[in-house]
Structure 1
Amino acid sequence: MGITKVLEPIRIGSMTLRNRIVMGSMHVGFERLEGGVERLAAFYAERARGEVGLIVTGGAAVRPEGGMGDAYCNVYLDDHIEPLRLISTAVHDAGGKIALQLFHSGRYAHPESTGMESVAPSALQAPINRHRPRAMSAAEIELTIQSFADGAVRAKRAGFDAVEIMGSEGYLINQFLSPVTNHRDDEWGGDFARRARFGVEVAKRVREAVGKDYPVLFRMSGLDLVPDSTTMEETLAFAAMLEGAGVDALNVGIGWHESRVPTIAMMVPRGAYVWVAEQVKKAVGIPVIASNRINDLRQAETIVREGRSDLVSMARPLLADSQIVRKSREGRFDEVNTCIACNQACLDHIFSGKVASCMVNPVVGREREWALVPAETRKRVAVVGAGPAGLEAARVLAERGHQVVVFEKGSRIGGQLNYARQVPGKEEFNETLRYYRTQLDKWGVPIRLNTAATADSLIEEGFEEVVVATGVIPRRPDIPGVDLPNVVSYDRVFEGEAKVGRQVAIVGAGGIACDLSHLLVQDRPLSPESISYLLEYRILDDQTLQRLQRSGRKVYMLRRGKHVGTGLGKTTRWAVLDNLQRHGVEMLTRIEYKEITPEGVVIRLQEAEQFIAADTVIIAAGATPNDSLYHALQGRLPVHLIGGAREAGELDAKRAIYEGAAIGRTV
C-alpha cells in the first residue's frame, strides 16, 4: 500500500508541517548523562533528519515541585532558556520542527527527585507513588497557571516552533479534571465545569502569553481508564472548551500511568484506541492527533485517509527507527525497524530510574558515539548463531564493510525470538525477524542454515575473526524423576516436538514459563473476521467466545523462589500475570520439589506435602551458556562472545541486541 495522505502538509495554527506524523512526547532522561542536553539535542535532530513532521519533547517542568528534578529539562526559570535553545537549534539545523511540552506531574511527582513536597488538587495518594501530595491552595493554583504561561513564553524565546500543554496520562491538569482525584468543593472542583476550569484557564493563559500566531497544542486525556473517572461526554465537552480557549490542536492520550488496563504494551492490538480520537474529532473543528499502538505508516495512512484523525502520533516507533517516515515515503517498508511495544528499554527503564533506550535499536541515546563508521580494515568475519545477538552483530558488521557469513545450526533465523512470537499477543516479534531478514539480504550476508560451525571448519575457511552467539542450553534441574517420559524441556514444546497433555505442571515461573503458560491456555485463537461474524449474528456471546478460544488445559507454574514472572518488564509484568490468572493458571511459590512421577509432581508447600496432577511436566528452570565453540577457538582466532552464550538469561533480547550492536562497532 502506498502512502500519500499522511504525507500531505497540514497547518496547526500558523505553523505548516511537512507531513502528518508527530513524534509524541517521551521522557528519555538523556539530560542526566554526560553531555546532557547536547545528547538530547542529537537524539531529536536524528528524528528530524528522518523527516517526522513535528517533534514533541519530553515534559519540561513549569514548576520545580512538578518536575523530575534538576537533571531533567525544566522551563520555570529564564536560566533554562539557553540550554533548551540547543535542542531547538539542532532540530532546525536538521530541517525539522519541534514543540516543547509544558509539564506538571502533580501527585505523580517524587519528592526524593525534586526535593520538594508534591502537590495536587486534593491530598490523595496515587497508587503508583509512596508519597501523599498536599492539596494546592487557591494562590498556588493561580501561581501554577501563570507558570504554564511563563513556561510557554520561555519556550518561544528558546526557539521552539510550538508548545504542547500536558493534560493527559494522569498528570496535574488531568488530576483537576477527574472526580477521582479532585475532591475540592471550591471554584476549582465539584461539578464538571469547575473541575475543567484549571485546564481551560491554563490553555487561555498560555494563548494570551504567546500571542495568537504561536501554535499551542494540548495533550488531553481521551480515556482515563480509571474507574469512576471522567466520562466520555465530559471528555468531549472539555475538548470543545479547549478549542474555545484558543488551542490549535488536540493530541489525544489514552490511560493514566496507574490504570490497570494495558494501553501501549505489545498485547494491545494496533490502533486499538483510534476510535477515541475519532470521537474527539467529531466534537471540534481543530486538528486532532490519534495515538497509541500505531507503529506503521501504512496504518497511519489508513487512519488519516478515513478521516478518523488529522495527524498520527508515533512516539516509540521513532525510538525503534529514527528514519521510519523517510523509509516509508520511499516505499522501503521492509527496511523499517518496527517498534514491537515491548517496553523493555523505554518505559521499563524510565520507571526504574534509568535512562531510556530501545530494545530493537540500542543506538537510542548513543547517537553520537555509536554513529556507524566504515571499518578501517575489512575482514572476513563469521557470526555463529542467528539469534538476536548474532543477527544484530552481523547487520552492523556488514554495514561497516566486513565480509560476514552467518552460521545457524537450526533451520531458521531468530533463535528464541521464535518462541516468543508464538505467544498470543507477542506476534510483533515477527516484525523484528522480518527486519533482520531484510537487512542481511540488503547487505549481502549469506546465512548458512542447518550448519553447525566448528573451530576447525571456521579456521579452514579462512575467517579472520569470529563472533560466537550460540545462545543457551536449557537447564535440567536435579529432581528425582526428571528423566521420565512425561517430562519435556520448554524448547521442545516451543519447537512443536513434544505433545502436551491437558494437565500441565511447569517447573519454573520466570518469563519463559509465563510465555509458555499463555501459549498453552490460549492456543486456539479465532480470526478477527470470524469473531466479528459470530458476534454480529449472535451465534455466540462474548463469554462463550472467550471459552472457545481457550485450550481447556489446566496449568500450574511452580517455583522455589518467592516471585513469579522475574525477567518480565516492570511496566508489563502485572498485565501478564493478570492475564494468566484470568485463564486459570495457578502459581505456587516457595515450594520444595520432592519428585516427579508419571502422574505429576510431588511438592512440599507450607510444611505440607502436596501432589500436582499433570500429564506433562515441562522444565523451564533457566539455562546455561552454550559457549563451547568460544573456548575451542580461544588462542586460535580472535573470538568474541555475546548474548546468551556469554550470559544465560530469561529470553533477554534487549541485552543480546545491545551486545550485538556493540561488538559490531568494535571489530
Structure 2
Amino acid sequence: MINNYSGLFSPLYLPDANVILKNRFEVCPSSPVFIQGPEPYPSERMIQHYAQLAKNGASLITVHLITWDGKPLPPTTENVVLSGHLAGMDLFDTRCSHYFAQLAEAVHFYNSKILVRVTVHGPEGYDISNTLSRYIPHNMTDLKMNKEMTKEMLYESVETLVKVCKKLKEYGFDGVFLHSAYRMTLFGRSLSTATNKRTDEFGGSLENRCRFPFYACDEIKKACGKDFIIEMSITGEDSTEEGRWTLEDTQKFMKLAEGHVDIVQLRCWEIDHTSIIGYEPNPRPYAYMAAAAKKANSRVLVSTTNGFLDPDASEQTIENDEADLIGMARGWICNPDLPQKLLDGKADEIVPCIRCNKCLLASNDAAPVSVCSVNPRFCLEDRLDKMISKEFRKKRVAVIGGGPAGMEAALSAAEHGHDVTLYEKSESLGGLLKIATIADFKWPLKDFTEYLIKKTLNSKVKLKLNTLATPEMIQNEDYDVVIAAIGAEPSIPSAFKTNNQNVMTAAEAYLHPEKVGKKVAVVGGGEVGVETALYFNGLGSETTIIEMQEMLMPQTSFEHYYYMIECEWEQRENFNIMVNTSVCSVSENGVECDTKGDKRFVEADTIILCLGYKAKVEDAFKFGNGKAEFYHIGDCLKARSLQTAMREGFSIGSTI
C-alpha cells in the first residue's frame, strides 16, 4: 500500500485523448549520448535505457529520435551531438522500422506511454515573420534576418509534421512532444510577440498567434486519432521588453488549448536559465508558472519541471493541484529508480543532483560523452552484470581517505559484503568537498556532500576518524585489500613560493576569509578560480581573475552551465577578468602581468592561487606492500573531478 506519496502514484486521466497514465512521473526530453551510436534507428542500448525507466515507474517518457521532417542527418566529423539530445534517425527507411517499433513496445511492456519530441522549423532562411535567426543566441554577432514564411509554406510544414506523426503512430508511439518554448522552433516563435510580427490571421493577438500551432495539432489529431497524445512545452512567463508574455497569457493559452493539446509543460523564457544551477537559491524557481496555469481550470493537463527531485515537494505540488505531472530530465539520470525507491520506503536514498550539466556535455574541450557526477552507474547500467563478478569471497578492506572517492569505494565494498574500514585523518568525512561547499551558491554540491556523508555514517563501514593512516599501520592490520584515496595537494609553481603573507591557496582563503583583503587577485581562471572570485566578490572584495588561456573555465560544460555562471559574473560590480595574461611576478602590493606583451600591474592585498592540484601519487604508492591487493583512486591517481572520483570508487569497491 502506498502511504506517503499517494498523489505521485495516483493515475491521471487525459480527458480529450481518453488515455490514462499510471502515475504522475514524467521523463522530459533527454537522450544521453552514450545510448546511441551512428545507427539510423534506436539502438539496443537506447531501447534498454528507456525500458528500464518505464520499469522503474516512469509513466510518460519523451525521447529524441528524429529531426522534424524524419530524415536522417548526413555523416559528419563536426561535433554536432550536443545537449545530451540525439536526433537524425531515419524514420522512413523500412529497414529501421522494427527498431522504432521495438522501442515503443519495450516501454509499453511496463504500461507506460512514449512520446517523440519534435521541433518544427521552416525552410532555410525563412521564419514565422521577418525576424532574426530561429534561435536568439547569447553571442549576438552571428545573427541574420529571415524572410517571413508564406501561408503556403506554413501549411507545407504542417503536412510534413503530420506525415512524421502518422509514421510514429504506425510504429506504436503514443504521441508527440511539440517543443514550443524559449522562442525556439516555428511554434514557439509563432507564440512570442518578440518573433511573431505577422499582420495576417496568424499574428497580432494571442488568439491569432495560437492559430498556427493549434492548426497543426488539429491536423495531427485528424490523421492519428484523438488518443494520439500531444504535449506542448511553452514559456510560462517572459518579462523581457520584447517578449511580454504574462501569467495571464499562460492562463488564457490554457483555455484556448482545449481540444487541441492534451498536456502543456511550463518552462522559462530562455533555454539556459531552464537548467538552474547553484546561483539560483530556489531549487524550483519556475513552479509558480505551472501553478498559475492550473488556475485556468482548463481540461488541458499541466506538467511542471526544473528541480523536482525532492519527493515531498513533488507530492505537495500534486496535492495542492499546482501541477498534474512532475517532469524531470537530470533527476532521472542521477536517480533512474526514483519511483521504486519511494515504493520501497527509501526516499532518503534519493541522490541529490549537483546540477553540473555534465550529463548534457561533460566538457567544452572533450569529446561529446554523457557522464553523471553523482551516479557512477550511469552509462554502464546495461553492462554491470557482466562487469561485476557474482563470485564472492569476503575480504578485509582498508580505505585510506574520507573524500568522495574513499567514501564511495568503502560503501560499494561494504554493500558487496566485505569487511571495510575507512581511515580519515581529520575529524570528519568529506575531503575537499568540505571546502568546495563553503560558498552559499554551492548548495547543490553541499546537499550531495551531506547525503554521501550521512550514507557512509549509517553504513556498515567501520570509521576511524582523526586517524592518520601510515603504511606501517595498514600493513600491521593484515588487510586483504588496500585502497588509497588520499587525494591531491594544491599546485604551487616556484614563482609563487614566497614569504609574502598575502599569497594563499584557495583552500586557505576559504578556511580563513578574515585574512582576505578588499582587493583580491585570483590567479587561474578555471572553475575553482571563477567560483573563488565570485565568492569573495560577494563578501565585498574587488576581484580580478588572471588567466593564461583565451577564455575562462575551458573545461566546463558549455551546455547551459557555462552561460549561467557567465550571467552571474557579468552582473557583479568590481569583478574584473584578464585572459591571455601570464603572471610575471608577485609582491606584497599585487601582481605584475603580461597580456600579449602589454605589461601591467594589478593591485592586490591578497593573491589567491587557483592553479589546480597535484596528485599524491608517491604517497599513495607507499601503501602498496605486495601483501594485499592495492588500488589508488580519485585525485591521488590524477586530480580531476567529482565524477571520476565517484566512478573509480564505485568500480574498485564493486569489483574487489
TM-score (norm 1): 0.85
Whole-Å separation in 2 of the counterparts to 1:593 and 1:351: 24
Any conservation in 1 of the 2:412–2:650 contact (CA below 8 Å)?
yes
Q: Which residue of 1 aligns with 2:488?
A: 472
Q: Which residue of 1 aligns with 2:302?
A: 288
Pairwise CA distance, 1:97: 0.6
The 5 Å alignment of 1:649-664 reads 649=640, 652-664=641-653
Whole-Å separation in 1 of the counterparts to 2:156 and 2:107: 32
What is the root-mean-square deviation of aligned Cα atoms in Å?
A: 3.2
Any conservation in 1 of the 2:334–2:352 contact (CA below 8 Å)?
yes
The reply on whether 1:20 has 2:28 as its aligned counterpart is no
The reply on whether 1:267 has 2:279 as its aligned counterpart is yes
Counterpart selection for 1:53 from 55, 59, 63: 59
Q: Deviations over 1:265-288 (max 9, x none)?
A: 333321111111122222323221
Q: Which residue of 2 aligns with 1:173?
A: 187
Counterpart selection for 2:43 from 37, 40, 43: 37
The reply on whether 1:430 has 2:452 as its aligned counterpart is no
Any conservation in 1 of the 2:71–2:92 contact (CA below 8 Å)?
no
Pairwise CA distance, 1:201: 1.4
Letter in 1 for 2:13: R
Q: Against the structure 1 CA distance between its residues 446 and 302, is the aligned structure 2 distance closer, same or farther, given a 3 Å change threshold?
A: same
Counterpart selection for 1:7 from 6, 9, 28: 9
Any conservation in 2 of the 1:10–1:20 contact (CA below 8 Å)?
yes
Whole-Å separation in 2 of the counterparts to 1:117 and 1:389: 49
Any conservation in 2 of the 1:254–1:292 contact (CA below 8 Å)?
no
Q: Which residue of 1 aligns with 2:571?
A: 582
Letter in 1 for 2:67: A
Pairwise CA distance, 1:32: 2.8
Q: Which residue of 1 aligns with 2:82?
A: none
Q: Against the structure 1 CA distance between its residues 501 and 66, is the aligned structure 2 distance closer, same or farther, given a 3 Å change threshold?
A: farther
Pairwise CA distance, 1:65: 6.4
Q: Secondary structure at the match of 1:22?
A: strand
Q: Secondary structure at the match of 2:352?
A: coil
Whole-Å separation in 2 of the counterparts to 1:456 and 1:41: 51
Pairwise CA distance, 1:474: 0.2
The reply on whether 1:560 has 2:553 as its aligned counterpart is no
The 5 Å alignment of 1:247-326 reads 247-257=261-271, 261=273, 263-268=275-280, 269-283=282-296, 284-326=298-340
Whole-Å separation in 2 of the counterparts to 1:28 and 1:351: 18
Q: Which residue of 2 aligns with 1:645?
A: 636
Q: Secondary structure at the match of 1:264?
A: coil
Q: How many residues align?
A: 625
Any conservation in 2 of the 1:100–1:162 contact (CA below 8 Å)?
yes
Q: Which residue of 2 aligns with 1:156?
A: 169
The reply on whether 1:240 has 2:255 as its aligned counterpart is yes
The reply on whether 1:199 has 2:200 as its aligned counterpart is no
Any conservation in 2 of the 1:455–1:633 contact (CA below 8 Å)?
yes
Where structure 2 has 5 or more consecutive residues not aligned to the other structure, the ranges are: 77-85
Pairwise CA distance, 1:556: 1.8
The reply on whether 1:627 has 2:627 as its aligned counterpart is no
Letter in 2 for 1:663: I
Q: Against the structure 1 CA distance between its residues 410 and 273, is the aligned structure 2 distance closer, same or farther, given a 3 Å change threshold?
A: same
Whole-Å separation in 2 of the counterparts to 1:288 and 1:509: 42
Q: Against the structure 1 CA distance between its residues 472 and 351, is the aligned structure 2 distance closer, same or farther, given a 3 Å change threshold?
A: closer
Whole-Å separation in 2 of the counterparts to 1:337 and 1:349: 22
Whole-Å separation in 1 of the counterparts to 2:195 and 2:629: 61
Whole-Å separation in 2 of the counterparts to 1:328 and 1:119: 48
Q: Which residue of 2 aligns with 1:383?
A: 399
Any conservation in 2 of the 1:557–1:586 contact (CA below 8 Å)?
yes
Q: Against the structure 1 CA distance between its residues 656 and 491, is the aligned structure 2 distance closer, same or farther, given a 3 Å change threshold?
A: same
Q: Deviations over 1:329-381 (max 9, x none)?
A: 44422211122222123355699872433221132232211246545333322
Whole-Å separation in 2 of the counterparts to 1:413 and 1:344: 25
Pairwise CA distance, 1:568: 2.8
Whole-Å separation in 2 of the counterparts to 1:217 and 1:608: 56
Whole-Å separation in 2 of the counterparts to 1:227 and 1:500: 41
Q: Against the structure 1 CA distance between its residues 515 and 224, is the aligned structure 2 distance closer, same or farther, given a 3 Å change threshold?
A: same
Q: Against the structure 1 CA distance between its residues 120 and 241, is the aligned structure 2 distance closer, same or farther, given a 3 Å change threshold?
A: same
Q: Which residue of 1 aligns with 2:118?
A: 103
The 5 Å alignment of 1:133-152 reads 138-152=151-165
The 5 Å alignment of 1:116-127 reads 120-121=127-128, 124-125=132-133, 126-127=135-136
Q: Against the structure 1 CA distance between its residues 657 and 460, is the aligned structure 2 distance closer, same or farther, given a 3 Å change threshold?
A: same
Q: Deviations over 1:257-314 (max 9, x none)?
A: 3x5x464333332111111112222232322111112221111112222222122212
Q: Deviations over 1:74-123 (max 9, x none)?
A: 47426354212222222233x2412212412538xxxxxxxx95864357
Any conservation in 2 of the 1:467–1:639 contact (CA below 8 Å)?
yes
Whole-Å separation in 1 of the counterparts to 2:513 and 2:618: 25
Whole-Å separation in 2 of the counterparts to 1:405 and 1:630: 17
Pairwise CA distance, 1:200: 0.8
Pairwise CA distance, 1:415: 2.1
Pairwise CA distance, 1:462: 1.9
Deviates more, 1:277-286 or 1:157-166: 157-166
Pairwise CA distance, 1:606: 5.7
Q: Secondary structure at the match of 1:142?
A: helix
Letter in 2 for 1:103: V
Q: Against the structure 1 CA distance between its residues 134 and 585, is the aligned structure 2 distance closer, same or farther, given a 3 Å change threshold?
A: closer
Where structure 1 has 5 or more consecutive residues not aligned to the other structure, the ranges are: 108-115, 523-550
Q: Secondary structure at the match of 2:377?
A: coil
Q: Secondary structure at the match of 1:85?
A: helix
Q: Secondary structure at the match of 1:223?
A: coil
Q: Secondary structure at the match of 2:522?
A: strand
Whole-Å separation in 2 of the counterparts to 1:191 and 1:625: 62
Whole-Å separation in 2 of the counterparts to 1:119 and 1:39: 37
Q: Secondary structure at the match of 2:405?
A: helix
Q: Which residue of 2 aligns with 1:545?
A: none
Pairwise CA distance, 1:63: 0.5
Q: Against the structure 1 CA distance between its residues 609 and 227, is the aligned structure 2 distance closer, same or farther, given a 3 Å change threshold?
A: same
Q: Which residue of 2 aligns with 1:573?
A: 562
The reply on whether 1:456 has 2:456 as its aligned counterpart is no
Any conservation in 2 of the 1:409–1:453 contact (CA below 8 Å)?
yes
Letter in 1 for 2:45: R
Any conservation in 1 of the 2:483–2:633 contact (CA below 8 Å)?
yes
Q: Secondary structure at the match of 2:267?
A: strand
Q: Secondary structure at the match of 2:160?
A: helix
- Identity across matched positions, percent: 24
Q: Which residue of 1 aligns with 2:591?
A: 601
Whole-Å separation in 2 of the counterparts to 1:494 and 1:205: 60
Q: Secondary structure at the match of 1:414?
A: coil
Whole-Å separation in 2 of the counterparts to 1:54 and 1:351: 34
Q: Against the structure 1 CA distance between its residues 363 and 58, is the aligned structure 2 distance closer, same or farther, given a 3 Å change threshold?
A: farther
Q: Against the structure 1 CA distance between its residues 592 and 313, is the aligned structure 2 distance closer, same or farther, given a 3 Å change threshold?
A: closer
Any conservation in 2 of the 1:319–1:357 contact (CA below 8 Å)?
no
Q: Which residue of 1 aligns with 2:412?
A: 396
Deviates more, 1:208-217 or 1:313-322: 208-217
Whole-Å separation in 2 of the counterparts to 1:629 and 1:412: 21
Q: Secondary structure at the match of 2:646?
A: helix
The reply on whether 1:86 has 2:102 as its aligned counterpart is yes
Any conservation in 2 of the 1:67–1:103 contact (CA below 8 Å)?
no
Q: Against the structure 1 CA distance between its residues 485 and 355, is the aligned structure 2 distance closer, same or farther, given a 3 Å change threshold?
A: closer
